[in-house]
């Protein structure tokens, strides 16, 4: 049997169209909407020969594959590589890259650390930080919103919330880029990200140990679970690593994309200012409309069938969340950004047992930034062209030149 990108080569299942596309092509990663539409139009699944994978982008199948952890496991990796065949680049995540029953134990600990109560306690602090930052940017005039706001805010409040004694924003952002690019093929994006390993990984690993964490914060809650015998010390360190892996790039992207949406659709910003109670649905719409995590894989752990398509054991399935979130059978006028639509059922934060465990925190961060903007800013305008940054799993902005104006 041939191995391709770390997984078994598979046969084209009966009735599945072959599509000679590279989902990791830089042009697609930067501007994916045509690819999303074509993927959905071809059927429930396509076969992509370049990587010998199946891909799905209709809401129905993407949701089914993503949530059925018994048939479509995460323990064989959520990128192209099959961990049953090849060792991953880092010791595997004990929450993301694991199945029940092991998953339940670590999930319970992280869910506790990131509970609605734990994140609500941070609200005041987040608001103070957001107000300070937005005041500075108003004063400044034109600014580059990726670095000066979307990265600045999470890399200020998140390490504090975890309880890191030392902060290194660069390492946090770079490690996120490594973790997410690692899910793709051995392309230039992945290789460039991996080249940051020597300057990034040792610092990250070091911050995960008990001695480098304060006695308050998400880290402390995780180590308390170790003290209680729920997990061991090494597992606690790994769960802190999960926070640092998944907590930065994602929220940076969420904030950046929210700003991009509000700058791109001024009438929607106006509507939000007039009715701040729309803030939460507005952010859900940002998630649906921009899909910060554009795709994750699952692996068929046995021969199975979805929507009449026979799927063989070992098949890697690229679940294109961004495509599912624009499925016209699920939402009317999906390519319209509409903060009033209340897009329940979007897959931007996944679904099922692996659904984003940090989502309360992510929403709290965005709420602080948006609240501040709604209170202080009357107009958000571009001062240059927005540029998207290709990444094998994340759809994020690279450059976002903006100006905040008051009336």
Q: Which CB, 242 or 372, lies closer to ligand OVM?
A: 242
The Cα–Cα gap between 35 and 41 comes to 10
Strands ordered across the beta sheet of 379-382: 143-144, 401-405, 379-382
Return residues touching ligand OVM (CB under 6 A). Answer: 93, 95-96, 179-180, 242, 245-246
Q: Which is nearer to ligand OVM, 258 or 349 (CB)?
A: 349
Closest of 295, 294, 314, 296 to residue 304, by C-alpha: 314
Q: Is the dihedral of CA 329, 334, 335, 336 positive or negative?
A: positive
- Is the Cβ of residue 334 or residue 390 nearer to ligand OVM in the bound state? 390
* Separation of alpha carbons 259 and 242, rounded Å: 26
* CA 287 – CA 308 distance, rounded (Å): 30
Return the structure tokens found at 269. Answer: 């910003």
Nearest to 295 by CA among 323, 324, 319: 319
Minimum distance from CB of 308 to ligand OVM (Å)?
A: 31
Q: How far is the CB of 117 from ligand OVM (least distance, A)?
A: 22
Task: Provide the minimum distance between the beta carbon of 179 and ligand OVM in the complex, in angstroms, as a whole number.
Answer: 5
Are residues 288 and 348 in contact, defined by beta-carbon separation less than 8 angstroms? yes
CB atoms within 10 A of CB 171: 22
Apex 50 CA angle, 48 and 51, nearest 5: 75
Structure tokens at 329: 């059978």
The residue (of 157 and 393) whose beta carbon lies closer to ligand OVM is 393
- Least distance to ligand OVM from the beta carbon of 102, Å? 13
Report the residue number, 88 or 281, with the smaller CB distance to ligand OVM: 88
Of 400, 397, 389, the closest CA to residue 181 belongs to 389
Q: CB of 248: closest distance to ligand OVM in angstroms?
A: 10
Per 3-state DSSP, the chain is made up of helix, strand and coil in percentages (nearest 5) of 50, 15, 40
- Shortest CB 243 distance to ligand OVM, Å: 8
Residue 152 or 249 having the CB closest to ligand OVM:
249
CA dihedral of 134, 383, 380, 137, whole degrees rounded to 10: 10
For ligand OVM, give the closer residue by CB, 356 or 374. Answer: 356
Shortest Cβ 348–ligand OVM spacing (Å): 13
Minimum separation from the CB atom of position 253 to ligand OVM (A): 12
Please say which residue, 253 or 268, places its beta carbon nearer to ligand OVM: 253
């Amino acid at each position: 049997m041939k191995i391709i990108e770390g997984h078994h080569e598979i046969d084209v299942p009966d009735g599945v169209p072959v599509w000679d596309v590279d989902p990791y092509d830089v042009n697609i990663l930067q501007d994916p909407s045509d690819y999303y539409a074509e993927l959905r139009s071809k059927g429930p699944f396509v076969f992509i020969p370049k990587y010998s994978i199946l891909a799905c982008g209709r809401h129905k199948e993407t949701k089914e594959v993503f949530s059925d952890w018994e048939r479509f496991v995460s323990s064989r990796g959520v990128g192209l590589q099959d961990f049953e065949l090849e060792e991953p680049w880092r010791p595997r995540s004990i929450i993301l890259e694991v199945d029940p029953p092991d998953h339940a134990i670590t999930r319970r600990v992280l869910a506790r650390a990131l509970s609605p109560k734990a994140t609500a306690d941070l609200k005041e602090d987040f608001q103070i930080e957001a107000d300070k930052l937005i005041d500075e940017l108003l004063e400044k005039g034109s600014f580059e919103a990726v670095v000066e706001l979307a990265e600045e805010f999470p890399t200020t409040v998140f390490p504090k919330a975890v309880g890191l004694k030392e902060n290194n924003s660069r390492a946090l952002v770079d490690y996120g880029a490594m973790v997410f690019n690692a899910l793709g093929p051995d392309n230039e994006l992945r290789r460039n990200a991996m080249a940051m390993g020597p300057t990034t990984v040792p610092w990250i690993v070091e911050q995960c140990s008990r001695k480098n964490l304060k006695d308050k914060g998400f880290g402390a809650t995780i180590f308390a679970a170790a003290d209680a015998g729920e997990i061991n010390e090494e597992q606690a360190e790994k769960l802190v690593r999960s926070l640092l892996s998944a907590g930065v790039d994602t929220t940076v992207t969420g904030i950046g994309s929210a700003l991009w949406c509000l700058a791109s659709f001024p009438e929607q910003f106006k509507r939000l200012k007039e009715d701040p109670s729309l803030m939460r649905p507005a952010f859900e719409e940002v998630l649906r409309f921009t899909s910060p995590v554009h795709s994750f894989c699952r692996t068929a752990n046995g021969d199975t069938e979805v929507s009449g398509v026979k799927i063989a054991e070992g098949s890697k399935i690229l679940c294109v969340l961004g495509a599912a979130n624009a499925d016209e059978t699920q939402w009317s006028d999906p390519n319209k950004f509409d903060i009033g639509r209340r897009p329940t059922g979007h897959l931007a934060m996944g679904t099922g047992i692996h659904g984003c465990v940090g989502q309360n925190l992510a929403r709290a961060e965005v709420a602080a930034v948006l609240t501040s903007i709604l209170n202080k800013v009357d107009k958000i305008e571009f001062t240059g062209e927005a540029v998207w940054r290709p990444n094998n799993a994340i759809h994020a902005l690279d450059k976002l030149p903006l100006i905040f104006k008051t009336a």
